[in-house]
């Protein structure tokens, strides 16, 4: 691995925006994806594995190890989000059948192996529920001190939830895991960067921006429109742009039906971009914890901005982002990556 490339380990519940995040990593010359943990969340863990392997196949990266995670959260029953991400997690898109297989070790072990193999260097990102990371920390309590940086997409700080009135999806699916991870990383040399909905909902992908991505990939196509037939297939010649357009159409339709407009929030791509370059966001340190017992508020993330708990900060919470700077980088990287893929 060249000195300039950062070893990146990513834990995903792929998922439309997780797939976009993986494409961003593949298109980042400063990143070397050394492993992918598949976590149950947007769809069940078997489907997440299929999606990760299929996306790697599509992107010509089938050498990246993919590990299967736990079937269910630490103690809660699994909930999935096919309404948001489609029946197989990638909207209307279909991925090639993968030829690569899963690792013989599970996702929690994959976390531990990655951290031990790159002590003090590993850039870690979690864009799904934190089940496997929590299991990894149980297996290797030193893990928070082995990773150089952890970025978590999860929570909602002083902001409404997207799953309950107060809880964000990734934390809401496995609140116990999130609480364990936040507690464990209070000992880390570098506090984890936590990007909640208050920040990630500023990252709004529109049909125009998706069109700019297709143009950069050298595969121009007619911008998606809310007036199109539902599920209309992408005519893009480029295989990655085709998959991303078919996936995003479903995600746009979901956001539209929720009254948010014909657009989509790219939560997870922001998280991977920040993992490679934390300067993309402004953060504030605070003690963070997760509500586990509230009858109305289970899964809520609470930041104690005013120090009333008397605890030291255990997270850097994203509070400001420049969406234009993010999208310029996203379109440049994913567009250039898609452009060099062979057409099929
Ligand atoms: C998070 O929930 C999932 O549906 C998305 O992939 C993202 O990671 C946003 O709340
Ligand atoms: Ca996700």
The CATH number assigned to the domain holding 54 equals 3.90.245.10
Pocket test for ligand 1, best of 268, 271, 275, 318 (most atoms within 8 A of CB): 268
Atom of ligand 1 nearest to the CA of 16: 6
- Cβ atoms of 10 and 25 closer than 8 Å: yes
pLDDT at residue 196 is higher than 60 = yes
| 267 annotated active-site | yes
- How far does residue 68's CA lie from ligand 2's centre (Å)? 15
Q: Which among 136, 152, 143 has a CA at the least distance from the CA of 21? A: 152
> Whole domain around residue 325: which residue ranges?
6-204+262-340
pLDDT at 1: 46
Nearest Cα residue to atom 2 of ligand 1: 169
Beta-bridge mates of residue 66 = 36
Residue 176 lies in a domain: yes
Instruction: Tell me the pLDDT of the chain averaged across its residues.
Output: 97
Residue 246 lies in a domain: no
The pLDDT-based confidence of 123 (bands split at 50, 70, 90) is very high
Residue 239 lies in a domain: no
Residue 37 lies in a domain: yes
Q: Which ligand lies nearest the alpha carbon of 155?
A: 1
- How far does residue 18's CA lie from ligand 1's centre (Å)? 8
| DSSP H or E run through 136 | helix 131-139
pLDDT at 187: 84
**∠ CA(5), CA(121), CA(319), 5° rounding?**
90
Q: What is the largest CA-CA distance in the chain?
A: 58
pLDDT at 3: 55
pLDDT at 113: 98
- Cβ atoms of 301 and 168 closer than 8 Å: yes
Residue 194 lies in a domain: yes
Atom of ligand 1 nearest to the CA of 85: 4
CA gap 126, 143 in Å, rounded = 14
- How far does residue 83's CA lie from ligand 1's centre (Å)? 12
Residue 249 lies in a domain: no
Residue 223 lies in a domain: no
- Could you please report the per-residue DSSP string of 255-289? HHHTTS-S-EE-HHHHHHHHHH-GGGEEEEEE-EE
CA gap 130, 73 in Å, rounded = 8
Protein residues whose CB sits closer than 6 Å to any atom of ligand 1: 15, 17-18, 42, 81, 84, 127, 153, 162, 168-170, 267-268
Structure tokens at 332: 């440049």
- Cβ atoms of 118 and 149 closer than 8 Å: no
Tell me: the pLDDT tens digits for 89-114? 999 999 999 999 999 999 999 999 99
3 state DSSP class of 193: strand
Tell me: the pLDDT tens digits for 230-284? 999 999 999 999 999 999 999 999 999 999 999 999 999 999 999 999 999 999 9
Q: How many folded domains does the chain comprise?
A: 1
- Average pLDDT for residues 104-129, to the nearest whole number? 98
Phi-psi region of 271 (alpha: psi -120 to 50; beta: other; left: phi over 0): alpha
Torsion angles phi and psi, residue 122, rounded to 5: -70, 130
CA gap 228, 207 in Å, rounded = 12
Other C-beta atoms closer than 10 Å to the C-beta of 312 total 11
pLDDT at residue 10 is higher than 70 = yes
CA 79: distance to chain centroid? 17
Tell me: the pLDDT tens digits for 147-192? 999 999 999 999 999 999 999 999 999 999 999 999 999 989 999 9
Atom of ligand 1 nearest to the CA of 200: 9
Which residue out of 85, 255, 265, 267 is catalytically annotated?
A: 267
Judged by average pLDDT, the poorest of 19-23, 35-39, 43-47, 339-343 is 339-343
Residue 122 lies in a domain: yes
């Amino acid at each position: 691995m060249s000195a300039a490339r950062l070893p990146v380990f990513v834990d995903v519940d792929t998922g439309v925006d997780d797939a976009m995040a993986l494409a961003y990593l593949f298109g980042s010359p400063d990143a070397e994806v050394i492993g992918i943990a598949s976590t149950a969340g947007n769809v069940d863990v078997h489907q997440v594995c299929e999606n990760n392997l299929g996306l790697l196949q599509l992107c010509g990266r089938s050498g990246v190890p993919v590990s299967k995670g736990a079937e269910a959260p630490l103690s809660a029953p699994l909930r999935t989000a096919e309404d948001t991400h489609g029946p197989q997690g990638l909207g209307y898109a279909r991925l090639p059948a993968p030829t690569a297989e899963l690792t013989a070790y599970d996702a929690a072990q994959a976390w531990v192996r990655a951290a031990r193999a790159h002590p003090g260097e590993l850039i870690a990102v979690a864009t799904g529920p934190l089940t496997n990371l929590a299991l990894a920390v149980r297996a290797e309590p030193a893990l928070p001190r082995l990773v150089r940086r952890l970025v978590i997409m999860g929570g909602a700080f002083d902001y409404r939830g997207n799953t309950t009135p107060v809880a964000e999806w990734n934390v809401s699916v496995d609140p116990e895991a999130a609480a364990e991870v936040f507690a464990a990383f209070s000992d880390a040399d570098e506090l984890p960067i936590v990007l909640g909905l208050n920040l990630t909902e500023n990252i709004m992908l529109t049909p125009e921006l998706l069109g700019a991505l297709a143009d950069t990939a050298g595969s121009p196509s007619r911008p998606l429109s809310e007036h199109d037939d539902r599920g209309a297939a992408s005519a893009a010649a480029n295989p990655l742009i085709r998959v991303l357009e078919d996936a995003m159409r479903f995600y746009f339709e979901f956001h539209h039906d929720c009254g948010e407009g014909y657009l989509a929030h790219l939560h997870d791509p922001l998280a991977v971009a920040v993992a490679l370059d934390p300067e993309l966001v402004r953060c504030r340190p605070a003690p963070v914890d997760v509500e586990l017992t509230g009858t109305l508020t289970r899964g809520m993330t609470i930041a104690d901005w005013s120090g009333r708990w008397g605890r030291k900060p255990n997270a850097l919470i994203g509070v400001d982002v420049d969406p234009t700077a993010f999208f310029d980088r996203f379109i440049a990287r994913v567009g250039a990556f898609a452009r060099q893929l062979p057409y099929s």
